[in-house]
Structures are given as structure tokens and as C-alpha cells.
Amino acid sequence: MFRFRIFLALSLLLNIVSLKLIAQTNTEASVKADKLVKEALVKFRESNFEKSLIISRVALNSATSAKNYSLISRSYNIIAANYNELSEVDKAIFFYKKSLYYANKTDNDSIKYNLYNNLGNMYCFEKKQFDKGISYYKKSIAYGLKINDLNQIYFTNVNIAWAYFDIGKFKEGYPYLRFVGNNTEKYGDKTTEIVVNMLNGMYASYSNEDDTANAYFLSAIHAGQDSEEQSDLSFAHLEYSKFLTRKKRYKEAYENLASYNKITEALYNQQKLEKASIAGFNLELDEYKRQIDKIENEKISQSQSLKKSRIIVILFVLISLILLVLIITLIKNIRFKKKHNLELVEAKEIAEEASLLKTQFISTISHELRTPLYGVVGITNMLLEEHKELAQSQHLSSLKFSARYLLSLVNDILQINKIEENKVILENLTFNISDEITMIKNSLSFLSQKNNNKIKVFIDPCIPEYLIGDKLRLAQILMNLVSNALKFTKDGEVEIIVNLNKVEEKFYFLEFHIKDNGVGIAVVDQNKIFEKFVQVGRKEEDYQGTGLGLSIVKRLLGLFGSKINLESNIGEGTSFSFVIPFEHDPQKTKKIIDEIEVDLTSSEVYKILIVEDNLINQLVTKKIIEKNNYVCKVVDDGFGALDIIEKEDFDLILMDINMPLMNGFETSKRIRLKGITTPIVALTAFDKDEITDESISSGINDIIVKPFEPIKLFKIISYLIKETKNVG
């Protein structure tokens, strides 16, 4: 401790001696950084994001070297602004906050104002977190008042009004627009003229002052044509297009939308983005490099200071010997960790790539299998319905069974993949446990008759009539367990027992037992059967199955927070048991039932348009629709759909997604751009989770995955048509 104090005192003396030299060096670095920051800002305003990022990186290095917090903050601010323009939202927010961190170390309230305003922009217009964004705007206004810069406050009021108008809160945003209007002559300029006129147009449109709105939008566009603010001009075209669409001036609306797209494409040239991404990557590397440079610079500074004194050199020799040993050890550790980390990174990248390829492969295979399966199942059903004499045909029964078995296999593989990627979310549906088990029993009657088995059911009478939970996942668990029991049992019985285990507030814990008196499972195999693609007990007989059923059961129970218990002995049968909590809330149950209740008794004849390029699928879907006494028309592609809806009115459109020339998403978007509100249902072989987001953005109302149960299709058709007519 004493030696350390001597060393510290001598170091302070040397630091005082070299202070002037360091101050001079810092001043030169600050001048250089300031010049670079200004140059980076010019490149940013010219939309040359690549150059701006590169120059900002150099400026940040110089500012860090000079320990000039104000310039560091300004450098990070420009970096964040570049990422903002490149739509790298999370990176932009990261660097804005980093800029704010260094700005708070200074008394520069102007840059604090700008940063809070920029963060407000990010959260309002990029992250859509408007409460958080507006709170940043208000902090920005506070700093604007502090520096008495009403010109800056004017700009922030424009942003707040814009944020409120974007989410349709025109009353809340109008006071800010009124402030802007009262101060336009005093503080407004060419940079805000476009936006202010656009906002006035939006408010006038909301107030149904159509002539005023039209004039404001045209003023905004006229101002934008003579301005460098091309981004604001693009938004003016977009909002004017929305207004014109509402007024059913579709041709002008389309022209303005085209202008918006043209300007946007010009601003965000793909080549610029690719080059800027490389520059951004180098910037991130420098972020780590600066930490190392900081340590190295401090070591060099200390070394230069110590050379000024022989006494310090002598003392430092002793310290250096110790440090040398530590550094050698540290270098070895760093090299080892670096090598180990590189191996881990490579392994992680390989695993992620393999996972992505697996997901893409499964998605493609499932789509390619479901499409022909839809035709096979549909045509088989048509043959059985139209030719009653074939009802006893073993060939048709085998064909239908094989198609449904293959579909079950596809669904099992998709299910296990979703669970492993944490894409399965439990739903809250109301159900009757007795009805669900009866349905499972009936659906497995063919399998039970095949092996001459009986299915016995016992349900505790203390269980409420209606429960709330994910009945679909529960049914999947029970279907797998009961079908498994039936496969491995002959001339016996399978029991489904449901007891009330306990009640905690509104939650009823149900204990399920699936018992059979079949072949049983050996003790050595009991830990294996829950693994994927593992099958046991095939020595004497060939039992059908994929080896996925019990693996899916275990993973689904994990989502419920439950575990499965197994008791079995060879030749004595098997018993599986588990406990799942379900909610019992009569009021909530009534609300759920009211929301999903659909009246299918209507005598109205609906007119349905089928957009489908596969001829077999056209035939199957048309037969299903016409069987319900609906009028049906079929077109082969998206262009045919756009053409026919101009001539005829339809109650609902069934839209295939994977079509040549123009897919279902693009077709739906174009239908919506025409102002047509006819419900659109995607009829697709894609997995629903894969296309939900794009379907919503395209204006599609619902999704049905092929093959499907006709009753489900008619429920959705009836609900959507009636909902549309009620709204109209």
C-alpha cells in the first residue's frame, strides 16, 4: 500500500508537468473533429449516407481522443441520423441515446433539445410508441424554453401535431397545429412549409372541409417541388392520395401514390444502402476498437510521464516485472478466449443457418404437399357424395385414409418445428370438456374398430360445464395419446378419465388419465419414447406412426406448465397422466361465445369469387361452395380477379396466395386501392403463422389453410359477409 501511494504521488507530479502538452494536443484534435462533424453533416443533408457515416467515424475517433464530450455527442447524433434515414431504427435509437449520454456531460442545451426531438421522432414515427415519443418531445420543448429558442419549439410542435394526426387523434393534435399556424410567419421557413400545409390538409379533411383540404395539399406539393425536402414531399403525396381515395377520385389518388413511390425509391437507392451498410459495420468495429485504443493511449501517456524521472523508472522496473507476468498471463487468456469465442461464434452461425434452412425446407415441403392433398381429399369426398354406391369401396376408403395420414404427418412435423422455435402461443377459447372428448372418441372410432377395442370415458361431475383455455392443443394432446393407446392394444379397452384435482380461485386443475391394457412399454424404453422419431415395440408387429406424437405431447404440456407421468409394464398395459389448469368464468365464457357465435341458417344466396390457378383445386373449391347453394365464379389469376370485380359485385373473395404473374398479396392490395371493401379470405396451403402479417398488410380479412373442414369455411364466409353489411 505504501509503495502504491508513492507511485500515485509521483504520477500526479508527472501529469501536472505534461498537462500543457496534452491540452495542446486535445485542442488540435477538437478542431479536427469539429471540421469533420460539419463535413459529415453536409454529406448527410445531401443524402450521401455512405460518406456521412465514414466521416462521422473519423470525427468520433478525433473527438474521443480529445475527450471533447460535446463533439462526441454531435458525432453520435449524425451517426444516428444516418441510421434513421437507412431505416435501421434500433441502431438509430442506440446511437441517439449514446449521444444524449455525452450531451448530458456538457452544458450544451441546444444539442439536448435536438436529441430529445430526434428520439421523439423515432418512437412516434418508427417504433409507433407514441406515448414515449411525445414525452421526449415535451422534454425537447423544455430545453427549447431554457435556451429561449422559440424557433426550435415551433419545429417540435409541428412534430407533435404530426404524431397525433398519424394515429387519428386530431382533437389532441389540433392545439399544437394552431400554435404552429399562429407562428408560421414568425418562425416558419421553407423546411416546414410542406409539412405544415400537409397537416392543415389532414385536419381540414378530418373536419370534412374538402375544398380547404384540397387547397392545402396542393400547396404542400407545390412547395415541395421547389424544395430539397424530398422526403416531406413524398409524405405530402401519400396523404393527398389517402384524401383523394376517400373522395373516390381514384385516378388522381393513384398518380399521387405513384409519385410517393418514385420519390421514395430515388431517396433510398439500393446501391447507397449496401455501401452504407459496409460503412456502418466498420463503425461498429471502431466502437470496440476505441475501448482498446483508450487503454493503449493511457499506457503510452503513463510511460512517457514516467521516463521524465529516474526515480520513477527505477520503481517502475519493479512494477513492470510484475505487470509483465500479468500481461503475459492476460495475453494467453485473451488468445485462448478469443479462439474459444471464435469457435462458439462459428458453431452458433452454423446452427442458426441450419435452423433457418430447416424451417424453410419444412415450410416448402408442407406447402407442396398440402396443395395436392387438398385435391385428393376433395375429389375423394366428391366421389363418395356423388356416387353413393362407392361408399363401401375399400379403394376409396384407403385413398382417403392415406391422404389424411400424410396430412397428419405434415402437420406433426410443422407442429414440432413451431414448438422448438417458440412460435406456439396458447389461446383462450371456451369449451365443454365432455363434448371435446366425445368428438375425439368419435373421430378415433375407425382405429378402435380396426383393433377390436373399446373406448371408455369417465368425467368427474364436479367439473364445470364450460371452461376457458386452449381446447385445440388439449385435443391434440388427447388425440395423440388415445390413438397411440389404440394402436398398441388389441381386443382390449382404452380409458379416458378426467378428475377434478383442485380449485384455486377461478382455475380448475383437471387431472387426465389415458389407460390401456395393451402390450406395454419396457422400463428401458420409457425414457426414449418422448424423443423425436423414436418408436419402440416393433419387434413382432409393424405399428404405423412417425415417432412424433409423444414428443409433441410432452412439448405441448410444457406450454401448459405441466409434465406427463408414465406407468407401464410389458404385457400389462400403459397409463399416461397429467394435470392442466383451465379457467372457469361464466361472464367471460358468455362474452367469448357471443363473439364467436355465427348464424349459418340464413337463406340468402351469396355470390363468391374464387381466385385460383390450380384447375383441380378450382373444381374442388367450387363444388364445396355450390353445395351450400352459393353462386360461384372462378378466375385463374390476379389479373382476372381485378378485371371481373370491375364488372360484377361479389359478397366475398376466396384468394389463393401462390399464383404466377401476380400473387394473392399483390392482388389483394390492388383490390383495396380501388376502394373495394369486399371481404377477402386467403385460401392457401401455406402455414397460417407464416403469412399472417403480410396478409393483414395486404387487406386480407382471414386465412384458411388447405385442406379444411367445409363447415369452418362457411362459418367464416357467413361471419365476414354479415359483418361487412352491418358496417356498411
**What residue spans define the domains of the chain?**
1-87+272-308, 189-267, 324-423, 429-596, 607-727
Q: What pLDDT is stored for residue 112 in this prediction?
A: 85
Contact in structure between 393 and 639 (CB atoms under 8 Å): no
Which single residue is written with the C-alpha cell 388389441?
490
**Whether pLDDT at 577 is above 90:** yes
CB 584 within 8 A of CB 467: yes
pLDDT at 104 over 80: yes
Cβ proximity of 256 and 237 under 8 Å: yes
Backbone angles phi, psi at 675, to 5 degrees: 85, 10
Residues paired with 655 in a beta bridge: 611, 682
In this structure, what C-alpha cell is assigned to residue 304? Answer: 512517457
pLDDT tens-digit readout, 194-212: 888 888 889 888 888 888 8
pLDDT at 14: 33
pTM: 0.41
pLDDT at 673: 93
What's the full length of the chain, in residues? 728
Cell for 229?
425536402
User: One-letter amino acid identity for 447?
Assistant: L
Whole-Å CA distances, 311 to 314, 316, 365? 5, 8, 77
How far apart CA 662 and CA 131 sit, in angstroms, is 39
> What is the per-residue pLDDT across 552-576, written as a single tens digit (0 to 9) for each?
788 888 888 898 998 888 888 999 9
Interval 609-627: pLDDT, tens: 999 988 888 888 888 888 8
Q: Cβ neighbours of residue 269 under 8 Å, at least 6 residues apart?
A: none
| pLDDT-derived band at 645, boundaries 50, 70, 90 | very high
Q: Which residue has the higher pLDDT, 392 or 715?
A: 715
Strands 573-583, 607-611: pairing is: unpaired
Residues 6+ positions from 92 with CB-CB distance below 8 Å: 80, 81, 83, 84, 122, 126
| 3-state per-residue secondary structure call for 106-151 | CCCHHHHHHHHHHHHHHHHHHCCCHHHHHHHHHHHHHHHHHCCCHH
CA distances for 375 relative to 67, 333, 350, 390, angstroms: 71, 63, 38, 18
Give me the pLDDT at residue 497, please. 95
Is there a cis peptide before residue 707, judged by omega within 30 degrees of 0? yes
CATH number attached to the domain at 324-423: 1.10.287
Task: Name the band, by pLDDT with cuts 50, 70 and 90, for residue 700.
Answer: very high
Cell 369401396 -> residue: 393
User: For residue 19, what pLDDT is reported?
Assistant: 38
Instruction: Name the DSSP class of 703.
Output: E
Name residues whose C-beta falls within 8 Å of residue 67's C-beta, 6 or more positions apart in sequence. 26
Confidence of residue 50 (pLDDT cuts 50, 70, 90): confident
* pLDDT, tens digit, 9 for 90 and up, residues 684-697: 877 777 788 898 99
Contacts with 131 (C-beta within 8 Å, 6 or more apart), sequence order? none
In degrees and rounded to multiples of 5, residue 643 shows phi and psi of -70, -45
Question: pLDDT for 407-460, tens place per residue?
Answer: 666 666 665 666 665 656 677 888 889 888 888 888 777 778 888 999 999 999
Q: Thinking of the domain 607-727, which architecture would CATH place it in? A: 3-Layer(aba) Sandwich (3.40)
Say yes or no to pLDDT of 339 above 50: yes
Long-range contacts of 646-652 (CB under 8 A, 24+ apart): 648/607, 649/607, 649/678, 650/607, 650/608, 650/609, 650/678, 651/606, 651/607, 651/608, 651/678, 651/679, 651/721, 652/606, 652/608, 652/609, 652/678, 652/679, 652/680, 652/681, 652/717, 652/720, 652/721
Q: 514 by DSSP, 3-state: which?
A: strand
Beta bridge partners of 286: none
For domain 429-596, give its CATH number from 3.30.70.260, 2.40.160.100, 3.20.20.70, 3.30.565.10: 3.30.565.10
In the numeric block, the cell 383523394 is attached to 244
Q: Band of the pLDDT at 166, cuts 50, 70, 90?
A: confident
Cβ proximity of 220 and 198 under 8 Å = yes
Residue 220 contacts by C-beta under 8 Å, 6 or more apart in sequence? 193, 194, 195, 197, 198, 201, 233, 236, 240
pLDDT at 359: 58
At 121, the amino acid letter reads: N
Mean residue pLDDT across the chain: 77
